[in-house]
Amino acid sequence: MAAYEAGARRFDAAIVGLGGCPFAPGASGNICTEDLVNLCDEVGIHTGIDLPLLLRLSRRLPALLGHEMPGQLVKAGRNSDLHPVPESITAS
């Protein structure tokens, strides 16, 4: 959010955070595309990315790759999927 608020409008991300730097042992990898898109959706920044479809694809990757991935949204789900929108918000 700090980068967006400072004027950045392009971000580099990778599905489920794949990647990382081969020159930095233990590097955490890339920001997860689905986590970034979810953040944008939550604060009203249009991305043009179908988040439910992206999540369906992301959830398949750990089985294909043979190990867990760092993406938190894939594991926890979207806030709007887990909790109803408060009535005070929908009534406005």
Active-site positions read 21
Q: What is the DSSP string of 11-72?
A: ---BGGG----TTSTT---PPBHHHHHHHHHHHT------HHHHHHHHHHHHHHHTS----H
